[in-house]
Structure 1
Amino acid sequence: MASRPIPLAVLLLCSLIAQAPGLAIAEDPRPPLEPAEAQGLFRVDSGLKVELAAAEPLVIDPVEIAFDERGRMWVVEMRDYPNGPPDGGEPLGRIKVLEDVDRDGVYDKATVFADGLLFANGLIPWRDGAIVTMAPSIVFLRDTDGDGKADARETLYQGFATGNVQLRVSHPTLGLDGWLYVGNGLRGGNVVAADAKGEPIDLSGKDLRFDPTRGLAEAVSGPAQYGLTFDAWGNRFVCENRHHLRHVVFPEQAARRNPRLAVRDVLQDVPVDGEGGRVFPISKYWVTSSLHAGQFTACCGVLIYGGDALPAPYRGAGFTCEPTGNLVHAEVLEPDGATFRSRPMREGVEFLASTDPWFRPVNLTVGPDGALYVVDMYRAVIEHPEWMPEELKNRPDLRLGDDRGRIWRIVPEASKPADPGRSLIAPDADKLALLGHPNSWHRDVARRLLKQDPEKLPVDRLAPLVVGDGEGLARVQAAWLLEGAGKLTDDQVVALLDADSPRVREQAALLAGSRLVANEAIRSRVVALAGDADPRVRFQSALALGAWNDAGKVEPLTTIALEGAGDRWTRLAVASALPDHAADVFAKVLDRLRDQPADPDRIALVEELAALVGAGKEPEETAKAVAALDALDGPSTDAWRLAALDGLSEGVARTRITFGRFLETTPGPTAEAIRRMLARASAVASDPSADAPSRLAAVRLLAFAAYEEAEPALTGLLLNDPDEAIRVAAARSLGNLGRPEAADRLIEHWRSYLPAVRRAAADALLRDGARIARLLDAIEQGKVLPGDLDAAQAQRLLASADPTIKERAGKLLSRPGGRREAIAAYRPAVAAAGDVARGRAVFEANCATCHRVADVGVDVGPDIADTRVRTREALLDDILDPNRAIDGNYVAYAVATSDGAVYDGVIAAQTSSSLTLKSPDGKTEILLRSAIDEIRSTGQSLMPEGFEEKITVQQMADLLTFLKDWRYQDGSVPLGR
């Protein structure tokens, strides 16, 4: 729910905290307000008003609410936040059911449904109780005797991670498809059904969906932290601390089915400003990272509003809570290819904000009245102590507000007081008639009531609804209900594929995937959707065609690829559908592009299709693709060939064989054609008039050309080209030529390299044992100095699994001494005067390959700009003893591949088919799991010990001063010291 920001009013709490190093002395914080007072401090969009729906003592520490068909509000109370019950004490979490007895719009009766719950954080009413998320489990709490209290508990799934309470499984939400989805909280887990049937489900980088009526569960793309929502058409959106609205675009099933495919990511940051978009609080608040000031840092409770009470512009908008800024943000969504883009509803002004620093919105939902409900935990401190500096972890205000909590309702200003009873769903109501209701609450609850009792599902009434020409949402929901019960027929799917509505056709294509192989009528319609005017329909058509292993899919996939070349998700969908026939689609695409200009989108398409061919290692496919390349004769021939060969080489590299070996095993005519094209790469690489992307592609390709041709060209570029990107690429390609002499060439010119080129050259020399041996020889001979290697590169040698390399490196680079002695030796830097400008230079030279501060460096390691409440002593400890405490997301891994290469970095992303490593300098490597021999955690940070050997005590003082005071140099932030 929250990340690192801390409100100023409570940060400067009392004399204890005020005397902490670096913090200002302040008076006691602003006291909490009664609900009526707090209500008067809201600023909400014009034409709307904020009403109180519930408050303490009826609700305490609410974190999620849900309304059942009777209009009762179910509330999850996290009364143990943040540190849990006292040692030996009972958990304080509970679930209450609130009722508005007098129908005045304010809830006035509360019944404790269940208590003694440890960090329960989400629920959905289900049958005679509720399904509740409370890591490590998902449980079904039942009221079997109708007295309003849970008297039976059934564990459905277990094995979810139980770390920080903000990072746990949450938000059980019924999808349009009839599955219940939960966010994994970013920490994953190996989840099993309580009956232990089936294999454990690995949720690393994924979320979970399950069907309680069928006993099914599987991993799905994600992950969500604390926020998960669907729009009316089943698009799933999630959020995490600094990402306030993310669309889950690419399905895990598609990522899994093509072993050739390396999937970089599955989520789209929908807002145009991406990560950490701007927010405009009206309260006084402060964040520990000045880089994040005025940005999202604690996104949670994301909701796509589907109610009917707010005016039309809000329907379908995305809302996100930002509790540290005491606000709720709104975004307007627009279709963009297979996904969406969004912009703030009002520039510079938040949808809902308060000057009360205790206002802590953590969740949102739509009520029976169509209003937007805001869950307000109402706490002085929302940040978890885990993210606080050591000196503040035991601050006395952590639980202030643990006797309070509010639920607010936002409605049009002209609305009459709410009557929650007017919109209820009676036991005898026609639930099918509600599937097309304009209020999402009615649709969702009606669908849940039909879903949770499959034996009473009115199949005979649902079937006509599917094939009729009625409201699209009703047709689609009826179809998914039948599908979940195993009652949907092929003829009904055909009727949906023929629908006028593109949204219905999109859902129909999703339903068709498992049927098109056996049913020609379905198949022909999915093929026809390749020419659909709607990009999301084409996207879903490509995914559906992936189930069909037949040459008949080549033409429609070619059409989709060319029409959607500008949409990376459509290109990815096409690629996922080509575990076979990749060369056929590649050849057809090239033929149609023959006379077209080589714009970046089409270049990307050609590269990606060629990579599939290369990863397949099938001689016939390679021959077909190369023949198509060789036959090109249009104005952009060089660009297409370079792009294709670049992609082909990348695909071959995924299989962990060298391109040279690939050429040796490729039939003669095909290999000869490739060599002719590679020879042309030398001319393009050296041509300063060629466009930059083509030159870079050509330089990369020279790594696969004949050594006698490539070495002189690469050496010339390495030493003489004015473009640093070309020189860096030349160093990498020269190192990858695979001949011992190539390593010698890199070392021969070592002294002429600027830092970026030197780092690239060192990386190239660290790729395998033979090159490492030559590097160590050069260090022994003084051609390369130990200090020429950055700290991470030196650590790779010192931690080598090869005992010979490890021993030699230990002697040449000198292993760091004990941390305690190093810290003691540099302790004078804490009190010494430092200089910000000199410290910036120290940072840029030694730290910028992994960290970013003051617009210097890259974000690979943790954000070390979060330093205002970090003491100089604590920073010194962090720098000289980096492995003392490591965030699990930043532990370094060593990945060995089947070709003998070893890659180091932090795991940035992972799917069923690939792993993405991020290493110093921000470089990423995407590795196919099929080519990975070993993944080994180093148990350490990417930042090695021994930093003191790089700088003096005075330079350390300068560095500490820069880290503490860089943000104050423009005078915009008071020092407060």
Structure 2
Amino acid sequence: MHPYLKTAFILTLGCVATPLLGAEPHARRCVQERPAGSGDAEEPGSPPSPERSLRKLIKGTGFSASLIAAEPLISHPIALAWDERRRPWVACTGGNLFERRAPSEARDSIVVLEDSDGDGGLDRRIPFAEGLMGVRSFVLHRRGVIVAQSGSILGLQDDNGDGRSDQHTLLFDGFGPNAVIDDLVWGLDGWIYATHGVVGGGKAGATSDGVRNAREEKLDPIPNAVIRFRPEGSRLETISISETVPGGLDFGADGELFFSTSFGELRHVVLSEHNLRRGRIGKVTTWAGLVKQPLNGTQAGGGGDIFVGVGASLYSAGTWPSDYEDNCFTCDPVAGTVRRHLLRPRSVTFAASSRPESFLSSSDPWFRPIHLCTGPDGALYVIDYCLADDGEAGEGETGPGRIWRVDHDRAEPLPSLSLADAETSILISALEHPGAWHRRTSQRLLSERELTKDDLDGLVSAGRNALDGLGRVHVLWTLQDASTRRMQEVGRIMLRDFRPTVRANVLRAAASLDGWDAAMLRQRTFQLLGDSSPRVRLMALCALSGVFGKHMTSELLKMYRNAQSDWTRSAILAIAASSPVDFVELAFSSGDERLSSLVEALTERIGKRGDIAHAVELVRAGDRHDPQSPGMVAGSLTILGDRLDPELRVWSSPRLRSTLRNLLRSGSVEVAYAALPFAENWIREGELRSDIEALNDRVRESVADLEAASHVARPFLERLQNHKDEQIVQNAKQRLCELDALKSESGIQKP
């Protein structure tokens, strides 16, 4: 979670956000007030004891809570993960989050907690890494962790087996003092996903501009966004740009990605930035906003609604009653509560609704939940940063902090399975385990091993024979780094799986990886354009963008006509961009105005890229289909004329001259006028003079009186205000005013 989000409970939405290490003292006074008498500390300025805080927790119906760790065992905890030995690893900030610290005062740490005496309680703290600065999040990797700290991402490994990090590798550096990488989580695809936010600095839309990877290569600027990066530090990509600082981040069991924002909106990533760079209709974003639930409360110094969504966790542990499966839980440290959001598929994305009651809250004003994760036992673990209303979190390196375990009273125990030092065959079988932690941990451990041919055969066999859909999904992605060929082998089978989740993941893999058999993909994926699942159909479109065949054009245009979202339209645009004139011509011939946005987007691309060959073909297509679609043809030629550099020249062939003469004589004055720039720029001066003069006479007639103007489109009249003839300009302006007056009198709003 980003530092601005974690400090949101001391920075109201009206305050200026400042970077964590340079926060101004007055910022601490900007806090969320709680009702008087909501719970006092045992001593003024001190948090209640862990035992007393436990009694103050307010749980949802049917749930219980217990304490697993508190000060002094941990101090200022901020992130949590469980290793294959079922030990919790905890990132601790060695002091108040909001205090200034010089680099020489780096004292954050990552510690491992153990039960040393076997009584079931954590009582031993093993420092794995110390002397870190501004730690925010980490993931387990090989013999250590990959950790995000101030301005950089590090790989920390224990090479000699003493339980402490002794190898530090700089994976990415140069994020700057106002930027922090947070919310690290492994994706099914073997990349590490995270949030990136730039706060403070007094500049809207700020980016991290100086980031370099492990090879010292400078990367493109990174905005506020969900990102992903390779664990060896080679590549970093922007997945979903956010206009606000992104907050908590997690994957559903099916691989769908969700994140929350600093303004409390839960979002689903429908398509990646990579997908939309290939094709974007309108201003569609990569994400769908699912729910934004404000908290009625007051701020110090004034009233207002505040809601902060951080620390997202998708529950798929398989132990709680079924109505909790795939629920999303988010922390709101402003209100001191954990919220529960119910998700259900809707078209290519999801719909969400929030339960009106808090899932977990407290009458203790120090309760500040900031991080959630599911443990090996299927319970939900909540990190409580334990912060007072005045922003004080205790002094030095021994400040408060608790980790709570929340479980349902009717939780079903998971099958017992040890992953520590497990044989490869055990890890493969664990990919079908009902618990999400077991599945994800097994996949991570397998990806860290050098798999033999027998191991790969075992994975392929599991992919062929697995009864569980999620198990098949994990097998698929486990194979990606080991063998694309074997991954494709099971992918062929999984494309016929009856579960949409499995089919969608195969298509997602095919769209993101090179080396897949194009013929196989083209045949089977084309069939899946008619799949019953909207999400599968969308992923099929993404997979087809690299293996397009012209025989698909008609079916894709049919899909575009009936598409219910701009995400689907954008995915079709990405495919159509490889053969734009074929799509435009077929759209022209159909006369279906529902295809106008596709035609306009393809024309825009041709014009902006200065693609003169396709521009000439598009003009010829307009001539061939002018009678069927005069409005679409006029719109396309207008965009092409606006975007194409007038200095670009083409050979003035007799065929092109004939094409433009036909367009200048079109029965639609709008089509003829849209063709005028090409006649003036592409044909030698004088060769079409009589046709151009005749067109200007028609244009004058179109604005001569109100009756004539009522038969042409308003955009045409607006374009005439740039005409060379001053009289035409004045008449066009007058006709527009008259038309507006008529619409106003009749109660029709101006378009």
What range is the shorter-chain TM-score in?
0.7 to 0.9
- State how far apart, in whole Å, the 2-side matches of 1:354 and 1:74 are: 25
Question: Given that residues 485 and 516 in structure 2 are in contact (C-alpha distance below 8 angstroms), is that contact kept between their aligned partners in structure 1?
Answer: no
Contact 1:71–1:421 (CA<8 Å) still a contact in 2?
A: no
> How much has 1:411 moved relative to structure 2?
0.9
Does residue 409 of structure 2 align to residue 413 of structure 1?
Answer: yes
**Counterpart of 2:443?**
447
- 1:335 equivalent to 2:345? Answer yes
Note the 1:577-616 alignment, pairs <5 A: 577-589=575-587, 594=592, 604=597, 607-608=600-601, 611-612=604-605, 615=608
**Residue from 163, 176, 180 that aligns with 2:192:** 180
CA–CA separation in structure 1 for the residues paired with 2:91 and 2:583? 52
In the aligned structure 2, how far is the partner of 1:243 from the partner of 1:628?
53
> Which position in structure 2 is the counterpart of 1:144?
159
* Number of the residue aligned with 1:317: 327
User: How many Å separate the matches in 2 of 1:56 and 1:398?
Assistant: 12
Q: CA RMSD in A?
A: 4.4
Q: Deviations over 1:876-920 (max 9, x none)?
A: xxxxxxxxxxxxxxxxxxxxxxxxxxxxxxxxxxxxxxxxxxxxx
- What residue in structure 2 maps to residue 354 of structure 1? 362
Distance 1:95 1:516, change over 3 A: closer
Supply the AA of the counterpart residue of 1:622: L
Question: Which amino acid in structure 2 is aligned with residue 244 of structure 1?
Answer: E
Quote the offset at 1:704 in angstroms: 7.4
Which amino acid letter does the alignment assign opposite residue 660 of structure 2? P
In structure 1, runs of 5+ residues without a counterpart are 384-396, 734-977
In 2: Cα distance, 1:349 partner to 1:452 partner: 42
The 2-side partners of 1:300 and 1:337 are apart by: 26
The 10-residue stretch of structure 1 (81-90 or 169-178) with the greater mean CA deviation from structure 2: 81-90
Alignment correspondent of 2:421: 427
Task: Give, in whole Å, the separation in 2 of the partners of 1:206 and 1:289.
Answer: 31
Query: Aligned with 1:404: secondary structure?
Result: coil
Inter-CA distance 625–183: structure 2 relative to 1 (3 Å threshold) = farther
How far apart, CA to CA, are the structure 2 residues paired with 1:80 and 1:59? 12
Q: Distance in 2 between matches of 1:363 and 1:337?
A: 30
Q: Relative to 1, partners in 2 of residues 1:36 and 1:580: Cα closer, same or farther, differing over 3 Å?
A: same
Identify which of 369, 373, 377 aligns with 1:369: 377
Aligned residue pairs total 670
**Stretch of structure 1 that moved more, 397-406 or 475-484:** 397-406
Q: Is the 8 A contact 1:554 1:581 kept in 2?
A: no
**2:177 aligned residue:** 162
**5+ long unaligned stretches in structure 2:** 16-24, 42-46, 199-206, 651-655, 674-697
Other-structure match for 2:480: 483
Residue in structure 2 matched with residue 54 of structure 1 by the alignment: 69
Superposition deviation, residue 468 in structure 1: 3.6
Q: Which of residues 611, 615, 619 is equivalent to 1:619?
A: 615
Equivalent residues of 1:129, 1:142 under 8 A apart: yes
1:132 aligns with 2:147: yes
Q: Is the 8 A contact 1:642 1:698 kept in 2?
A: no
Letter in 2 for 1:626: G
The Cα offsets for residues 166-225 of structure 1, whole Å up to 9 and x where unpaired, read as x511222111111222222244344322232x5534323554433336955444334563
Preserved CA contact (<8 Å) 2:588 2:622: no
**Separation in 1 of the partners of 2:627 and 2:264?**
46
Change (3 A) 1:577 1:110: same
Q: Give the 3-state SS of the residue equivalent to 1:66 in structure 2.
A: strand
TM-score normalised by length of structure 2: 0.77
Deviation at 1:158, TM superposition (A): 1.6
Q: Work out which of the residue numbers 441, 457, 462 in structure 2 matches 1:460.
A: 457
Report the secondary structure of 1:76's partner residue: strand
Instruction: Write the deviation string for residues 471-494 of structure 1: whole angstroms up to 9, x where unpaired.
Output: 222222222222212343444332
Give the residue type in structure 2 aligned to 1:522. Answer: L
**2:187 and 2:193 in contact (8 A); partners too:** yes
Match of 1:524 in 2: 523
The alpha carbon displacement at 1:366 in A equals 0.8
Aligned residue among 676, 682, 696 for 2:670: 676
| Distance in 1, Cα, partners of 2:322 & 2:402 | 27
Given that 2:229 and 2:236 are in contact with CA atoms closer than 8 Å, whether structure 1 keeps it comes out as yes
Q: CA deviation at 1:672?
A: 5.1
Alpha-carbon spacing, 1:23–1:97, altered in 2? closer, same or farther (3 Å):
closer
Distance 2:60 2:606 in 1: 54
Deviation at 1:556, TM superposition (A): 3.9
Q: Secondary structure at the match of 1:202?
A: coil
Q: Distance in 1 between matches of 2:153 and 2:168?
A: 10
Contact 1:76/1:121 (CA < 8 Å) preserved in 2?
yes
Q: Is the 8 A contact 1:531 1:560 kept in 2?
A: no
Distance 1:310 1:75, change over 3 A: same
Contact 2:134 2:149 in 1 (8 A): yes
Distance 2:735 2:121 in 1: 77
Q: CA deviation at 1:351?
A: 2.3
Residue of structure 1 aligned with 2:212, choices 181, 192, 203 = 192
Structure 1 residue 649: deviation in Å? 4.3
**Letter paired with 1:497:** L
Partner SS state of residue 271, structure 1? strand
1:36 is aligned, of 51, 66, 72, to: 51
Structure 1 pair 504–81 and aligned structure 2 pair: CA distance change class (3 A): same
Query: Identity of aligned pairs, percent?
Result: 26
SS of aligned partner of 2:246: coil
Q: Aligned partners of 2:353, 2:374: CA distance in 1, in Å?
A: 22
Of 52, 69, 72 in structure 1, the residue corresponding to residue 84 of structure 2 is: 69
Q: Contact 2:338–2:361 at 8 Å: present in 1 too?
A: yes
What is the distance in 1 between the residues matched to 2:603 and 2:96? 52
Does 2:130 align with 1:115? yes
Cα distance in 1 for partners of 2:31, 2:325 equals 46
Distance across 2 between alignment mates of 1:581 and 1:695 = 30
Contact 2:427 2:446 (8 Å CA) reproduced: yes
Q: Distance in 1 between matches of 2:722 and 2:441?
A: 60
Q: 1:125 aligns to what SS in structure 2?
A: strand
Aligned to 1:538: 537
| TM-score normalised according to structure 1 size | 0.61
1:98 corresponds to 2:80: no
